[in-house]
């Protein structure tokens, strides 16, 4: 199916007092809003994409997205003013950080690799293997308040951090405009909601793959990438079973979804001592259910922009996409020696869809080129998502203006 227009959601909210100039549908508008009104925020959804579900308890407005973006990039978001959400989610790396696993503001090492925020609004569950976190605002509170590990270090410093926003004249206006009518908008909950509003606008669907499939551009993908696409969607490789649909991910949620789609899989990364075990600090869904079969089960992340999100897997333990392909071709990872030694291909809890396959060198190149055709440079370079403080450099491929 080919859709040539952009779906538009315009959300318009008028506060109790009504009136004001709130009927403006332009996303880039700086429309004036009084304390009682907010400006409609328009989300453009790329051709072929469903509409995201925007939660009733956190409707979008231009003011909220603007505030959320500033907070996302502001180092005052951490207790020692050294980091923000953006420190671990850099636009130039499709909102990941390039580290094996992330490091928090006080130096604590996170057990997990930073995730891309590409299309996070469509995920039915957030984080690598957390069946409980369903909304972007609930997710944002984890890096803010979490103590194991400490990420932004809000715990015990909440009032200090909120006061630093309260005394800033710019924020004073922006918080009031984003949350009109609230007695005190300076709370962790409202900070999380504003940031969630911004994160929900990070929608990517203009890769070469999308242009070829949804925008009738037959030259967008190389012939090699097209052959790789056919391999990806083949029963021989099985990739699409877990990384399928418009977002190359299974656990999706959008306007019109009826079922709660949630899937976690063990893809054979570890098999410590032949027992099926994963490393202690990263046992996946098992950490919530304590069921043997949930050992090593993680959520299949989107593969959109995957070229820019190395290193790979929940613990960053695969460095390159070539090695990811080798991993799947072998049907699991063999670790020869050391504390994690074991043959992941024989993990008793491994998904039955991970069986291994043989690829020629040319086919491997094709699959790689397909994965790279999922990079959306318009998204990675989009100024609407970039650092308002000007500290983060854009990806070198972005046009210099
Ligand atoms: C110290 C680095 C760090 C900081 C700071 C940080 N994150 Fe993350 N982020 C991560 C890591 C690591 C994960 C994966 C966590 C897990 O699975 O347990 C993650 C996961 C996420 C996800 C889930 C994406 C998905 O598809 O499931 C979202 C959304 C997110 N972060 C948003 C934020 C926001 C918003 C902030 C600021 C309030 C923030 N992050 C601050 C490292 C960080
Ligand atoms: C049984 C479901 C399943 C199948 C089949 C599958 N994957 Fe995955 N994939 C996953 C899961 C789950 C993860 C995360 C695992 C982890 O971190 O422990 C993952 C991770 C990845 C990653 C790393 C993404 C990132 O952001 O770190 C890439 C790349 C990837 N898969 C590509 C593929 C390709 C290519 C194929 C086909 C050859 C494939 N997958 C087949 C479930 C699957």
* Cα atoms found within 13 Å of the Cα of residue 114, Cβ hemisphere only: 27
Instruction: Classify 399 as helix, strand or coil.
Output: coil
Closest to 143 (Cα-Cα) out of 160, 126, 131, 159: 126
Please tell me if the CB atom of residue 300 comes closer than 6 angstroms to any atom of ligand 2: yes
User: Which residue's alpha carbon is at the smallest distance from atom 9 of ligand 2?
Assistant: 300
Instruction: List pLDDT tens digits, range 168-226.
Output: 999 999 999 999 999 999 999 999 999 999 999 999 999 999 999 999 999 999 999 99
CB 268 within 8 A of CB 332: yes
| Pairing status of strand 41-45 against strand 342-343 | unpaired
Task: Kindly give the distance from the C-alpha atom of residue 196 to the centroid of ligand 1, in angstroms, as a whole number.
Answer: 11
CB 273 within 8 A of CB 339: no
Closest to 139 (Cα-Cα) out of 83, 82, 88, 70: 88
For 217, the token pair is 């551009």
CB 10 within 8 A of CB 40: yes
CB 282 within 8 A of CB 112: yes
Please tell me if the CB atom of residue 353 comes closer than 6 angstroms to any atom of ligand 2: yes
103 pairs with which residues across the strands? 109
Determine the Cα–Cα distance for residues 13 and 106; give it in Å rounded to an integer: 40
pLDDT of residue 5: 32
Instruction: Count the neighbouring beta carbons within 10 Å of the beta carbon of residue 339.
Output: 9
* Cα atoms found within 13 Å of the Cα of residue 343, Cβ hemisphere only: 4
Task: Kindly give the distance from the C-alpha atom of residue 141 to the centroid of ligand 1, in angstroms, as a whole number.
Answer: 10
Do 7-203 and 219-372 show the same overall fold? yes
CA of 357, nearest ligand number: 2
Task: Kindly give the distance from the C-alpha atom of residue 27 to the centroid of ligand 1, in angstroms, as a whole number.
Answer: 26
Please tell me if the CB atom of residue 89 comes closer than 6 angstroms to any atom of ligand 1: yes
How long is the chain? 401
Can you give the C-alpha Rg of the chain in angstroms? 22
Determine the Cα–Cα distance for residues 376 and 398; give it in Å rounded to an integer: 11
Class of domain 7-203: mainly alpha
CA of 288, nearest ligand number: 1
Please tell me if the CB atom of residue 96 comes closer than 6 angstroms to any atom of ligand 1: no
Q: Which residue has the tokens 């259910």?
A: 289
pLDDT of residue 401: 59
Q: Which residue has the tokens 């469903």?
A: 50
Determine the Cα–Cα distance for residues 138 and 126; give it in Å rounded to an integer: 9
Task: Kindly give the distance from the C-alpha atom of residue 143 to the centroid of ligand 1, in angstroms, as a whole number.
Answer: 6
Please tell me if the CB atom of residue 303 comes closer than 6 angstroms to any atom of ligand 2: yes
What proportion of the chain, given as a percentage, has pLDDT over 70? 91
Please tell me if the CB atom of residue 199 comes closer than 6 angstroms to any atom of ligand 1: yes
Determine the Cα–Cα distance for residues 124 and 344; give it in Å rounded to an integer: 28
Question: Distances from the Cα of 370 to the Cαs of 9, 62, 262, 273, in angstroms?
Answer: 31, 36, 26, 35
Instruction: List pLDDT tens digits, range 95-127.
Output: 999 999 999 999 999 999 999 999 999 999 999
| DSSP assignment string, 330-392 | HTS-EE-SSTT-EEGGG-TTS-TT-------HHHHHHHHHHHHTT--HHHHH-GGGS-TTS-S
CA of 374, nearest ligand number: 2
User: Which residue's alpha carbon is at the smallest distance from atom 13 of ligand 2?
Assistant: 300
C-alpha 98: how far from chain center: 14
Determine the Cα–Cα distance for residues 126 and 128; give it in Å rounded to an integer: 7
Instruction: Count the neighbouring beta carbons within 10 Å of the beta carbon of residue 255.
Output: 12
Task: Kindly give the distance from the C-alpha atom of residue 95 to the centroid of ligand 1, in angstroms, as a whole number.
Answer: 9
Please tell me if the CB atom of residue 27 comes closer than 6 angstroms to any atom of ligand 1: no
**Domain spanning 219-372, CATH architecture:** Orthogonal Bundle (1.10)
CA of 124, nearest ligand number: 1
**Strand locations in 144-284 (E):** none
CB 298 within 8 A of CB 265: yes
- Which H or E element spans position 161? helix 158-166
Task: Kindly give the distance from the C-alpha atom of residue 190 to the centroid of ligand 2, in angstroms, as a whole number.
Answer: 34
Please tell me if the CB atom of residue 102 comes closer than 6 angstroms to any atom of ligand 1: yes
Question: Distances from the Cα of 255 to the Cαs of 92, 123, 243, 280, in angstroms?
Answer: 29, 12, 20, 37
Instruction: Count the neighbouring beta carbons within 10 Å of the beta carbon of residue 29.
Output: 14
Task: Kindly give the distance from the C-alpha atom of residue 115 to the centroid of ligand 1, in angstroms, as a whole number.
Answer: 6
Determine the Cα–Cα distance for residues 305 and 328; give it in Å rounded to an integer: 19
Question: Distances from the Cα of 121 to the Cαs of 203, 259, 349, in angstroms?
Answer: 8, 17, 30
Structural domain boundaries in the chain: 7-203, 219-372
Instruction: Classify 308 as helix, strand or coil.
Output: helix
Tens of pLDDT, residue by residue, the chain (401 residues): 333 333 333 333 333 333 333 333 333 333 334 446 889 888 889 999 999 988 888 999 999 999 999 999 999 999 999 999 999 999 999 999 999 999 999 999 999 999 999 999 999 999 999 999 999 999 999 999 999 999 999 999 999 999 999 999 999 999 999 999 999 999 999 999 999 999 999 999 999 999 999 999 999 999 999 999 999 999 999 999 999 999 999 889 898 887 888 999 999 999 999 999 999 999 999 999 999 999 999 999 999 999 999 999 999 999 999 999 999 999 999 999 999 999 999 999 999 999 999 999 999 999 999 999 999 999 999 999 999 999 999 999 999 75
Determine the Cα–Cα distance for residues 125 and 146; give it in Å rounded to an integer: 18
């Amino acid at each position: 199916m080919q859709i040539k227009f952009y779906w538009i959601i315009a959300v318009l909210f008028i506060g109790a007092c009504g009136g004001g100039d709130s009927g403006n549908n332009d996303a880039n508008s700086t429309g004036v809003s009084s304390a009682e009104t907010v400006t409609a925020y328009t989300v453009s959804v790329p051709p072929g994409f469903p509409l995201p579900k925007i939660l009733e308890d956190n409707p979008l407005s231009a003011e909220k997205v603007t505030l959320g973006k500033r907070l996302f990039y502001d180092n005052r978001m951490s207790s020692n003013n050294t980091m923000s959400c953006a420190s671990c989610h850099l636009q130039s790396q499709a909102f990941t950080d390039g580290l094996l696993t992330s490091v928090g503001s006080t130096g604590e090492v996170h057990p997990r690799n930073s995730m891309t925020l590409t299309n996070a609004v469509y995920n039915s569950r957030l984080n690598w293997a957390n069946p409980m976190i369903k909304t972007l605002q609930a997710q944002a509170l984890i890096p803010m308040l979490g103590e194991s590990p400490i990420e932004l270090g809000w715990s015990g410093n909440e009032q200090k951090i909120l006061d630093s926003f309260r005394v800033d004249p710019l924020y004073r206006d922006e918080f009031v405009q984003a949350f009109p009518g609230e007695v005190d908008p300076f709370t962790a909950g409202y900070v999380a909601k504003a940031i969630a509003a911004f994160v929900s606008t990070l929608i990517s669907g203009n890769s070469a793959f999308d242009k070829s499939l949804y925008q009738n551009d037959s030259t967008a993908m190389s012939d090699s990438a097209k052959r790789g696409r056919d391999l990806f969607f083949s029963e021989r490789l099985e990739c699409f079973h877990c990384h399928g649909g418009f977002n190359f991910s299974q656990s999706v949620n959008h306007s019109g979804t009826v079922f709660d789609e949630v899937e976690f899989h063990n893809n054979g990364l570890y098999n410590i001592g032949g027992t099926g075990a994963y490393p202690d600090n990263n046992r996946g869904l098992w950490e919530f259910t304590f069921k043997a079969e949930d050992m090593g089960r993680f959520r299949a992340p989107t593969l959109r922009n995957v070229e820019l999100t190395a290193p790979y897997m929940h613990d960053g333990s695969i460095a390159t996409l070539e090695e990811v392909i080798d991993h799947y071709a072998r049907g699991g990872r063999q670790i020869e020696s050391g504390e994690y030694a074991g043959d992941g291909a024989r993990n008793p809890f491994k998904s039955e869809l991970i069986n291994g396959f043989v690829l020629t060198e040319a086919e491997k190149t094709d699959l790689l080129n397909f994965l790279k055709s999922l990079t959306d440079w318009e998204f990675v370079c989009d100024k609407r998502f970039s650092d308002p403080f000007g500290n983060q450099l854009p990806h070198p491929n972005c046009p210099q203006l």
